[in-house]
């Protein structure tokens, strides 16, 4: 019987050790889960505060943007930026004195003179005459046209010439397309 009692005591001790181990493990696991839960809760709260701050900042920025959009000066500036290329091109085309001065300078190199100018929808019309009373008026005009057609010009293109009149003193109507 002593053996049985010894086995019973050993078994009881083993059960108590296992129970004590399982209890400690359960308490330790509970503490780890409790600490993890608390940490995740505080992390979530921190993220919510940060998110609220960011949302508040976004709201303020959207209000500022809507206030700026109602500003008339900014609306005009945005409209100008959207159409800047077109506006600049039209402004350049409306600068008729640049084209007239260019054509007068070019014609004077050949002893020719423009008498009048008419500018209408990207077309510049004029009458060209030779400035001297020599017998070579038509040669000056021919040289002017030949040189003008062979050189690249950034401002205007010479259209086809319909008529030339005169022999010594040449008169011709010219039309230039404004680029």
- Judge whether residue 26 has pLDDT over 70: yes
Domain range list for the chain: 1-82, 96-178
Mean pLDDT of 52-66: 91
CA–CA distance, 104 with 126 (Å, rounded to integer): 11
Continuous H helices in 70-175 = 72-82, 84-93, 96-108, 137-150
Residue-level pLDDT at 134: 60
Q: What is the pLDDT of residues 121-140, one digit of tens each?
A: 778 888 888 766 565 777 77
DSSP class of 52: H
Instruction: Say whether pLDDT at 63 is over 70.
Output: yes
d(Cα 100, Cα 117) in Å, to the nearest integer? 8
Which stretch of 19-33, 71-85, 106-120, 161-175 has the lowest confidence by average pLDDT? 161-175
The answer to whether the beta carbons of residues 75 and 69 sit under 8 Å apart is yes
- Topology, domain 96-178: Gyrase A; domain 2 (3.30.1360)
Span 135-171, pLDDT tens digits: 577 777 788 888 877 777 667 777 887 777 776 677 8
Nearest to 142 by CA among 120, 179, 121, 112: 112
Higher confidence at residue 97 or residue 32?
32
SS3 of residue 149 by DSSP: helix
- Tell me which of 63 and 91 has the higher pLDDT: 63
The answer to whether the beta carbons of residues 99 and 156 sit under 8 Å apart is yes
At 9-19, the pLDDT tens digits run: 666 777 778 88
């Amino acid at each position: 019987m002593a053996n049985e009692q010894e086995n019973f005591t050993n078994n009881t001790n083993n059960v108590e050790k296992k129970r004590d181990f399982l209890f400690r493990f359960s308490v330790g696991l509970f503490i780890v889960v409790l600490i993890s839960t608390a940490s995740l809760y505080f992390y979530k709260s921190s993220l919510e505060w940060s998110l609220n701050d960011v949302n508040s900042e976004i709201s303020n920025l959207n209000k500022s943007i809507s206030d700026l959009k109602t500003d008339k000066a900014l609306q005009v500036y945005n409209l100008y930026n959207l159409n800047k290329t077109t506006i600049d091109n039209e402004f350049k085309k409306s600068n008729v004195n640049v084209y007239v001065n260019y054509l007068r300078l070019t014609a004077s190199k050949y002893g020719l003179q423009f008498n009048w100018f008419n500018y209408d929808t990207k077309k510049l019309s004029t009458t060209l005459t030779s400035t001297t009373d020599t017998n070579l008026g038509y040669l000056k005009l021919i040289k002017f046209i030949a040189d003008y057609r062979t050189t690249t010009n950034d401002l205007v293109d010479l259209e086809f010439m319909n008529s030339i009149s005169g022999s010594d003193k040449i008169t011709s109507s010219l039309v230039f397309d404004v680029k």
